[in-house]
Amino acid sequence: MSATTALDEIKIGGLGASRRRVEDNRFIRGKGSYVDDIVLPGMLHMEILRSPFAHARIKSIDTSAAWKIPGVRLVLTGEMMASRNLAWMPTLSYDTQAVLATDKVRFQGQEVAAVIADDPYIARDGVEAIQVEYEPLPAIVNPYQAMADGAPIIRDDKLEQPDNVVFDWEIGDQAATERAFAEADLVSRLDLHYPRSHPSPIECCGSVADFNRATQKLTVYITSQAPHIVRAAVALVAELPEHMIRIISPDIGGGFGNKVPVYPGYVISILASILTERPVKWIEDKTGNLISTGFGRDIYLHGEVALRKDGKVLGVRMETLSDHGAFFSDAQPSKFKIGLMHSAFACYDIPAAHLAARGVYTNKAPGGVAYRCSFRVTEAMFFQERMMQAAADDLGIDQAEFRRINFVRDDDFPHRTPYGFLTDSGQYGKCLDIGLEAIGYADFARQKEEAAARGRLLGIGISAMTEPLGAGNSREYDILGIKMFDSAELRVHMTGKAILRTGAKTQGQGHETTWAQIVAHELGIPADDIVVEEGDTDTAPFGMGTYASRSTPVAGAAVAMVSRKIRAKARKLAAHLLEVSEEDVEWELGRFYVRAAPGQGVTIQECAMAAYANMPDGLEPGLEANAYYDPPNLTWPFGCYLCKVEIDPETGVWDVIQFVAVDDCGVRINPMIVEGQIMGGLTEAYAKANMQFITFDADGNCIGSNYMDYLLPTAWETPGFELYEVVTPCPHHPIGAKGVGECATVGGPAAFVNAVMDAVKGFGVRNIDMPLLPDRVYEAITTGRDISGAPPVKMD
Ligand code: MCN
Ligand code: CUN
């Protein structure tokens, strides 16, 4: 018999199936369980008092009136935290951060005291009853002020901190870069600012801490993208035994990087529960979230590109200055101070590059933390593509052609990038071609003329980028010394149904759907027969969590590997059932059969039953396995985004006429989910380019602390996106997949900005910093000048 009886992979929800998201069943019915849904017997509620000043010495805190309010159970101040050695905590970047302020407040919104009460309203009354006497100090609200002579030292708590510089860091070959610039026919220069931005998850941060004195067990429900890291942090900071700590991340209403760090509120609620011996819930409000949690970006660039007349880029120089706020709490691999900024220009074949990065403290909430960025890659790719566009314009060469000349060729992999990464696969020219065709690039000159006749300015922008996704490998990537790898555990029950757990943590990305598809692909067990669980440290195997789009590259690989372990054991069971030796057994999706007699076979489900009911002598019973996966390299997805805009020069308003996205994230597990990730990412990119900014006045007051000022795009203003796919499998990933979760937010912004700049370049304008608000575009057109920096604060 030669006809295969292998299962139809798409039908069982395997690789490539646009399977409906199983988690949506509960989400769309309002049956998700978020931290605020957790209600425990005897639970108390916590509210945080935040500083109204950006920089001030605390002279005194009087909590007596708060203690007198009926229903108030506990009032915590920095002094009380200090008595337990908990006033400060370590950050993910070897800095320290105040949990509750003791000496000074260093940003508006910083945590000063906490009230724990019978209900949230009493807790809030308690917060309002606390009297704090502040002595205001001059505030530093941008990095240039931070570096000025005589600037007040923000971190005077640190003994070895003579100034406001957090780090100076460099990478690349400076001498080779200088030589490249000496040989250049032309040097293109550009100064840019990537403004501070906020991840804006729908669910704010929160925790429910439950310390049980009798069992000595601490359980914390928490909005964390990396629950195992939180467990380690609590064990180390609070000096509690790790096996007595259980961190549970239930459903999370969006993370976007906001929920990677450990926040003061988490730590305070834990201490409050230990002291009151009652569960304590803390739920941050929207303004608290907008002013105090981890911000993205806020970084300045001076960039230079050394060019040869024929369009070849000879070298690149980048100098960055980043604003880290009052505490350096960015999450990033320990080795790299400015994240993976040095992934810039990875898709281009450039002989020499040098990057000098400086980070400084300011009186703002911790910045640069993370926001759909893969450790600063968002900034890296934005700078890269703005510099490439300006360089093409300066040379007077077609922007698409210029990129093509400099792309790494398809046959030039593995390729060493200008800053030393090793990329391994891609078809950059093909992606660009598909994009150009789709957006009608060949016909653009005619369209531009036609628009000009109507009094409109037309522009086309291109952004091409490759993104390093999936930290580790463990040799180069660690956070606070903990190596970056990930894990999966698979238990196949006797009836062939299974439970899969990983060390990642979905926050909306759809892991419950896609991980089951990988198992289905590897084992032929229908995806509907596999339940996926993440986020409970008592049950999930150790993992570093979900950020930097590392889940598919690392945890997803572990899922494939653990499935293969199960298949190897199932093969032994199959040989036993078929009464042949293992070598004579062949596999096809869902079934083992005898090579010489393909009609004789057993299904994976029959093997599962045998593991519990009919195992051969000497074989360990059960069908369970664990796999830890340490990836050999990052994965390198590629994206090419093209945007066409039309500007009304009388108002500066710009409309997106067409947007084309061509993404190559290797093999797609679930095409529908991938497209959802890209659409969401592009929407965020559009918001950054078009409307969002959060800024500070001279006293450090945060402007944009509510969603009337900080705008979230809705379906109404978001343009349509046309998506195209190219598949270049990742050569080292077990199923050929690359990460995708952040690609569109990373590559998207430059496409919008480049399109507007293309439309206005005839006016002598080289740059408008984001957001490209109509008044800024109008000013640039009418004055012929660049518009730099964050939008100025308008005070009435
Ligand atoms: N996927 C796929 N095929 C591929 C690659 C990915 O089907 N070749 C699927 C994955 O299986 C997963 C999803 O796409 O279901 C995203 O996968 P991946 O690229 O591995 O990214 P992560 O799961 O690690 O998600 C993290 C990434 C980050 S870092 C941010 S920030 C972000 C993002 O995901 N935050 C999000 N997308 C988000 N989407 C939602 N809804 N909510 C967030 O908070
Ligand atoms: Cu950089 S935000 Mo995502 O990596 O969690």
Q: Helix 227-237 to helix 264-276 angle, to the nearest 10 degrees?
A: 60
In the beta sheet, which residues pair with residue 320?
301, 357
Look up residue 446 and give its two tokens.
Answer: 């005619």
Residue 239: the pLDDT is: 83
Look up residue 227 and give its two tokens.
Answer: 């629950």
- Tell me how far the alpha carbon of residue 741 lies from the centroid of ligand 1, in angstroms: 4
- Report the side by side order of strands in the sheet with 597-603: 585-588, 591-594, 597-603
- Tell me how far the alpha carbon of residue 70 lies from the centroid of ligand 2, in angstroms: 42
Pocket of ligand 1 (CB under 6 A): 254-257, 372, 507-511, 514, 546-552, 556, 665-670, 673-674, 677, 680, 737-742
Look up residue 512 and give its two tokens.
Answer: 């419950």
In sequence order, which ranges of 668-711 are alpha helices (DSSP H)?
Answer: 671-690
- Contact by Cβ (8 Å): 15, 517: yes
% of the chain residues with pLDDT over 90: 95
Minimal CA–CA distance to 271: which of 211, 207, 204? 211
Pocket of ligand 2 (CB under 6 A): 225, 255-257, 260, 370-374, 547-548
Look up tokens 């049956």; give the residue. 31
Residue 574 to residue 592: CA distance in whole angstroms: 6
Residue 793: the pLDDT is: 62
Nearest-atom number in ligand 2 for the CA of 550 is: 4
Residue 2: the pLDDT is: 45
Residue 463 to residue 661: CA distance in whole angstroms: 10
* Confidence band of 794 (pLDDT split at 50, 70, 90): low
- Tell me how far the alpha carbon of residue 141 lies from the centroid of ligand 1, in angstroms: 34
Catalytic residues: 225, 372-373, 742
Mutate to test the pocket of ligand 2, among 260, 379, 505, 684 (most ligand atoms within 8 A of CB): 260
Look up residue 276 and give its two tokens.
Answer: 């009151």
Phi, psi angle pair for 280, to nearest 5°: -125, 125
- pLDDT tens-place string over residues 318-372: 999 999 999 999 989 999 999 999 999 999 999 999 999 999 999 999 988 889 9
- pLDDT tens-place string over residues 486-542: 999 999 999 999 999 999 999 999 999 999 999 999 999 999 999 999 999 999 999
- Tell me how far the alpha carbon of residue 116 lies from the centroid of ligand 1, in angstroms: 36
DSSP category for residue 597: E
Nearest-atom number in ligand 1 for the CA of 201 is: 44
- Tell me how far the alpha carbon of residue 738 lies from the centroid of ligand 1, in angstroms: 11
Mutate to test the pocket of ligand 2, among 197, 200, 369, 374 (most ligand atoms within 8 A of CB): 374
Look up tokens 């403290």; give the residue. 361
Nearest-atom number in ligand 2 for the CA of 373 is: 1
* Confidence band of 238 (pLDDT split at 50, 70, 90): confident
- pLDDT tens-place string over residues 438-488: 999 999 999 999 999 999 999 999 999 999 999 989 999 999 999 999 999
- Tell me how far the alpha carbon of residue 596 lies from the centroid of ligand 1, in angstroms: 43
Mutate to test the pocket of ligand 2, among 194, 197, 256 (most ligand atoms within 8 A of CB): 256
Look up residue 415 and give its two tokens.
Answer: 């390729």
Residue 331: the pLDDT is: 87
pLDDT tops 90 at residue 790: no
Nearest-atom number in ligand 2 for the CA of 378 is: 1
Residue 1: the pLDDT is: 42
Residue 553 CA: which ligand is closest? Answer: 1
- pLDDT tens-place string over residues 687-720: 999 999 998 999 999 988 889 989 999 999 999 9
Of the two residues 705 and 63, the one the predictor is more confident about is 63
pLDDT tops 90 at residue 791: no
Give the global pTM.
0.97
pLDDT tops 50 at residue 685: yes
Residue 584: the pLDDT is: 97
Residue 182: the pLDDT is: 98
Residue 779 to residue 781: CA distance in whole angstroms: 5
Minimal CA–CA distance to 679: which of 755, 750, 595, 748? 748
pLDDT tops 90 at residue 657: yes
Question: What mean pLDDT is reported for the chain?
Answer: 96
Q: Mean of the pLDDT values across residues 661-676?
A: 98
Phi, psi angle pair for 740, to nearest 5°: -145, -15
Residue 547 to residue 662: CA distance in whole angstroms: 23
% of the chain residues with pLDDT over 70: 99
